[in-house]
Copies of this chain bind each other. A is one copy, B any other.
Amino acid sequence: MFTDELLKATGNIWSGYLKQDFVKELGNGALAEEKFRFYMVQDYLYLLQYAKVFALGVVKANDEETMRYFASMVHETLDDEMNIHKTYMARLGITPEELTTTKTAFANQSYTSYMLDVSQRGDILDVLVAVLSCAWSYEMIGAELAKIPNSKEHPFYGEWIVGYTSEGYVNSVVGLKEKVNALVEEVSPARKDALTEMFVNCCKFEREFWNMSYTMDMGE
């Protein structure tokens, strides 16, 4: 499977996520609330851009089914996934005004611009691989953190783990990987290398996103 090759190409980056402070403390419940608050706001801004990448999938799709798939992912991102955020925001006292006035942190901006750049210049496979790293790593992290006893019952962070281990979320990642593996069969080895490099870059951006969240670094 091409998606297996993608993981291999990330080297230690993929397994390293679980050792990053933010992820570890999210799992054991030790994460400072202000760090999570910072993350929530930035992730909200991230998801708006992430939805744009899915919208580019609608634009680049070559058939109706793929168009509808991406249209549903735009909807899923803006409505379902962002609902998890909205619950937390209510709890954390994050107002809509705060969301519109908070600047996008530098590492966050770099990540979403990268996905938007490759998706605008590229084709439907570029779009799919660009969004894969975020979707898949969250599923993996959710599954790993869920193994920690009582992590899903944590009064504050449990809901995050529950959300990213939900059947709906997991299935959507499975669907994404299937699409990648199906479409990649038609492309040349050089094209596969380029897609792999793109996946690795996205995985680095994920790593930096966790770092940014833990250090609450706006990149000023």
On A, residues with C-beta under 8 Å from B are: 11, 48, 51-52, 55-56, 58-64, 67-68, 70-71, 74-75, 78, 99-100, 103, 106, 109-110, 113-114, 116-118, 120-123, 186-188, 190-191, 194, 197, 201, 204-205, 219-220
Contacts and interface: CB of A to CB of B under 8 A. Distances in A.
Contacts of A194: 62
Contacts of A61: 52
Contact of A117 (B99, B116, B220): B116
Given A117-B117, A121-B120, A64 B52 contact: no
A127 B75 CA distance: 20
Given A113-B113, A190-B186, A51 B75 contact: no
Contact of A71 (B75, B109, B186, B191): B75
Contacts of A71: 51, 55, 74-75, 78
A70 to B, nearest CB: 8
Nearest to A74: B71
Q: How many copies does the complex hold?
A: 4
Given A63-B100, A75-B71, A116 B121 contact: yes
Given A56-B55, A58-B55, A78 B67 contact: yes
Contacts of A191: 186
Given A59-B59, A117-B117, A219 B190 contact: no
Contacts of A201: 106, 109
Contact of A59 (B52, B106, B186): B52
Nearest to A96: B64
A113 B117 contact: yes
B110 A114 contact: yes
Given A67-B78, A78-B67, A118 B113 contact: yes
Contacts of A123: 122-123
Contacts of A188: 186-187
Given A109-B114, A114-B109, A114-B117, A75 B78 contact: no
Sort A-B residue pairs by CB-CB distance and give the 5 closest, nearest first.
A55-B58, A113-B117, A186-B188, A117-B117, A110-B110
